[in-house]
Amino acid sequence: MGRSLADAETIFRAGLARVDPLAMMQRVLTLTGDVLRVTTETECHAYDLSGYKRIFVLGMGKASARMALGLERLLGERITAGVVAVKEGYLETLSRIRLLEAAHPVPDERGAFAAREVLAMAEAAGAGDLVIVLVSGGGSAILAAPLAVPGRRLTLADKQATTRALLACGATINEINCVRKKLSAVKGGRLAAAIAPADCLGLLLSDVVGDDLDVIASGPTVPDSTDAADALAVLDRYAVRDTVAPEALAVLTDVAAGRAPETPKAGDPVFDTTRTVLIGTNFQALLAARDKAATLGYATLVLTSHLIGEAREMANLFLGMAKDIAEYAVPLPRPACVIAGGETTVTLRGPGKGGRNQEMALAFLAGLTGEAKNAEEAVFLAASTDGSDGPTDATGAFASLEILRQGRALGLDARAYLAANDAYHYFEAVGQLLKTGPTNTNVCDIKVLLVP
């Protein structure tokens, strides 16, 4: 069992290494003379830097510091100036680009300050300038700029309360960002509007299922495909109209009624000088994890990169697969490795501590309670690629029948901890939290199921 736990972590870390932002920037960007090229599997673009007066770098998100490092190594003194907002602790040593730390997942005053600095530099750019925008997951919370609406006083506190309500109700990241875009001076294409008429090149690392560009960090440089009516529908879907900040609700109502500006849509002239390129995804990480599992001798399946839904419910899927592999060699013969990616949600029911991955691992354990048949050798690891699963210092957690027995020996009831949403303290007690520290990347989560 010890080897299986080690293998699960090795497979996860292989996926993590594939989406290292520095390596991706070096793979995607090349500089030949004055020509900067951006090349991915699906597109290639060239920029003659000699034609620009100034080059600015802006950014937001958990991976943006390491993305900035890659850009500095390539462009060096060609960069005029830059400011990038990152999650606290997600730092690199830079010389041309200023890093500003802020809180995540609930924004703080540092994020509001960072947003003002980013907007100021965006608005300072003009025709003949190039602005490179580095966008990664976490940017929605890290860059917090309340939208100015005549007759309203939307504050950071209003945005904080609204974010907390959405996080607690089980809304998906797409739904949360739909609301946040309407309340922001940066999100939903509004940063592109501030940058225009300068040329804008957005480089995106995806942390959302489906890689929708207008959902990643709430789409600061791309047209918004949603409107205020969609945002209000999210509040109604989860019955949180009375929970979000009243001023936030008022702003959403004003936007829906046409009394306040909507986010820019496709076809808006602000996007005429804007190009956005996706440079890294969860699927790339899953393929690297698959390849590592194969070298370790496992028959391997990438199940999906679109895993969504309630974390504790998705755990039952992996538990069922473990049993089928053990009993029927379906969908793989043993030794088997099933890998999946995506981002599940948690509906808070108790006062505990944890994150979606720890909750999924604990639900896997709880499903083992009372029966070991066909799953007694299975090992499950659920972990986040950004190094912090929810508001914790853990990346994720391991689950197996042996770990469940360790918990029982300590008098721990997995089902009771699950009911309290207290996965962190359960796995802390049994010593089965995975802690990587800040990874400076973010492409959703990786789940690894091993049946030796």
Is the same domain home to 206 and 315?
Answer: no
Q: Identify residue 292 by its one-letter amino acid code.
A: K
Asked if residue 331 belongs to a domain, the reply is yes
Displacement of CA 199 from its chain's centroid (Å): 26
- Rg (the chain; Cα; Å): 22
Q: Compute CA distances 329 → 91, 308, 320, 374, 381, whole Å.
A: 45, 25, 12, 11, 20
Asked if residue 135 belongs to a domain, the reply is yes
Q: Is 39 exposed, middle or buried (0-12, 13-18, 19+ CB in 10 A)?
A: middle
Cα separation, 279 vs 442, whole angstroms? 12
Domain boundary among 234, 251, 280: 280
Q: Which of 79, 83, 138, 134 is nearest to 113 (CA)?
A: 83
Q: Which pair of tokens denotes residue 388?
A: 């912090």
Q: What is the pLDDT of residue 373?
A: 58
Asked if residue 359 belongs to a domain, the reply is yes
Is the same domain home to 207 and 351?
Answer: no
Asked if residue 153 belongs to a domain, the reply is no
Q: Which pair of tokens denotes residue 201?
A: 């090149």
102, 111 contact by CB (below 8 A)? yes
Domain boundary among 216, 246, 280: 280
Q: What is the pLDDT of residue 71?
A: 98
Q: Which of 55, 380, 382 is nearest to 200 (CA)?
A: 55
Asked if residue 239 belongs to a domain, the reply is no
392, 367 contact by CB (below 8 A)? no
20, 92 contact by CB (below 8 A)? no
CATH of the domain at 295: 3.40.1480.10
Helix (H) / strand (E) element for 287: namely helix 282-295
The answer to whether the peptide bond before residue 105 is cis (omega within 30 degrees of 0) is: yes
CA angle (94, 388, 311) in 5-degree steps: 145
Cα separation, 202 vs 321, whole angstroms? 40
Determine how many CB atoms are found less than 10 A away from the CB of residue 386.
27
Asked if residue 240 belongs to a domain, the reply is no
Helix (H) / strand (E) element for 321: namely helix 311-328
Q: Which of 302, 258, 271, 242 is nearest to 449 (CA)?
A: 302
Asked if residue 171 belongs to a domain, the reply is no
Is the same domain home to 315 and 210?
Answer: no
Supply the DSSP symbol for 123: H
Is the same domain home to 414 and 444?
Answer: yes
Displacement of CA 384 from its chain's centroid (Å): 9
241, 253 contact by CB (below 8 A)? no
Helix axis angle, 2-18 to 282-295, nearest 10°: 140
Is the same domain home to 313 and 399?
Answer: yes
Structural domain count, the chain: 2
Supply the DSSP symbol for 383: E
Cα separation, 199 vs 173, whole angstroms? 29
Q: What is the pLDDT of residue 374?
A: 66
CATH of the domain at 41: 3.40.50.10180
Is the same domain home to 93 and 116?
Answer: yes
Kind of pairing between the strands at 129-135 and 199-205:
parallel
Q: What is the pLDDT of residue 3?
A: 85
Asked if residue 411 belongs to a domain, the reply is yes
Q: Which of 187, 164, 192 is nearest to 177 (CA)?
A: 187
Q: Which of 116, 175, 172 is nearest to 143 (CA)?
A: 116
Cα separation, 250 vs 96, whole angstroms? 41
250, 147 contact by CB (below 8 A)? no
Kind of pairing between the strands at 29-32 and 54-60:
unpaired
The answer to whether the peptide bond before residue 264 is cis (omega within 30 degrees of 0) is: no
Per-residue pLDDT of the chain (452 residues; tens, 9 = 90+): 578 999 999 999 999 999 999 999 999 999 999 999 999 988 999 999 999 999 999 999 999 999 999 999 999 999 999 999 999 999 999 999 999 999 998 999 999 999 999 999 999 999 999 999 999 988 988 999 999 998 999 999 999 999 999 988 989 888 999 999 999 999 999 999 999 999 999 999 998 888 999 989 999 999 999 999 999 999 999 999 999 999 999 999 999 999 989 999 999 999 999 999 999 999 999 999 999 999 999 999 999 999 999 999 999 999 999 999 999 999 999 999 999 999 999 998 999 999 999 999 999 999 987 554 567 889 999 999 999 999 999 999 999 999 999 999 999 999 999 999 999 999 999 999 999 999 999 999 999 999 99
Q: Identify residue 191 by its one-letter amino acid code.
A: L
Is the same domain home to 44 and 123?
Answer: yes
Is the same domain home to 312 and 274?
Answer: no
Is the same domain home to 268 and 337?
Answer: no
| Domain with 108 in it | 21-145+184-226+263-280
Q: What is the largest CA-CA distance in the chain?
A: 69
Residue in the structure block whose two tokens are 């700029």: 145
Residues in the chain: 452
Is the same domain home to 380 and 439?
Answer: yes
Is the same domain home to 271 and 329?
Answer: no
Is the same domain home to 443 and 355?
Answer: yes
